[in-house]
Structure formats: structure tokens, C-alpha cells
Amino acid sequence: MIKNDKTILWVPTFELIEQTNMASFIKQIEAKYELNFNYDYEKIHEWSCNNLAEFWETCFVASGIQTTQAYETVIEGHMPNVEWFKGAKILFCIL
């Protein structure tokens, strides 16, 4: 029988957390939108759900995706029939 043990085996130091890509991404959001999440992932998640266009535009920029034609809008329409990054053209050979 498998025991459902919830013992935390390891917690990274603050210094290690600061070096992650996630920390870098969070800092970009905080700087751009003048926010301070203090690494509270529930707050980050809530903000991302309430600010879809801002969150996904920051993801797009942070990913370094290059387009041959810029997008006109980040999000158009309503879920589930959303059009993301309308107008953007991407050449997959440059990814």
C-alpha cells in the first residue's frame, strides 16, 4: 500500500530561488506593472487569471519569440474562442 506522506524533503534557499527563470519572469512582471508578489504564487496565479493580456504578452516577450510581423492585439474574443496574438507571423525555421 502506498502511503500519502506530505513531508517536505527539500526547500531551496532564497538565493537559489532568485536564480531561477521563474524568478526572472516574476521580476519582469513586477517591474513592468509596478507590482510586488513577494514570491506568493497564489497571488501571481490570481493576477495572471485577472490580467490575461498583460500576463501572456509578458510571456511572449520573455520567451524571445521572433516574429516577421508584429501582433496587433494579444487577446481578442472570449474563452474558449479566443484569438491569441492576432496578426503575428512566425517563421518556425527561426525558432
Note the pLDDT tens digit of each residue in 60-86.
999 988 889 999 999 999 888 999 999
**Is residue 5 assigned to a domain?**
no
Cα–Cα dist 44/50, whole Å: 10
**Is residue 70 assigned to a domain?**
yes
For residue 8, give the C-alpha cell: 517536505
Q: Find the domain containing 85 and state its range.
A: 14-94
**Is residue 7 assigned to a domain?**
no
- Residue that is written with C-alpha cell 526547500 in the block: 11
Cα–Cα dist 50/27, whole Å: 18
pTM of the model: 0.78
Work out the average pLDDT over 85-91: 91
For the cut 90, the answer to whether the pLDDT of residue 46 exceeds it is: yes
Side-chain-facing half-sphere of 94: CA atoms under 13 Å: 8
Q: What pLDDT, on a 0 to 100 scale, did the predictor assign at position 89?
A: 92
Q: What pLDDT, on a 0 to 100 scale, did the predictor assign at position 72?
A: 95
**Is residue 4 assigned to a domain?**
no
Cα–Cα dist 57/54, whole Å: 5
Give, in order, the Cα–Cα distances in Å from 12 to each of 17, 35, 38: 6, 24, 15
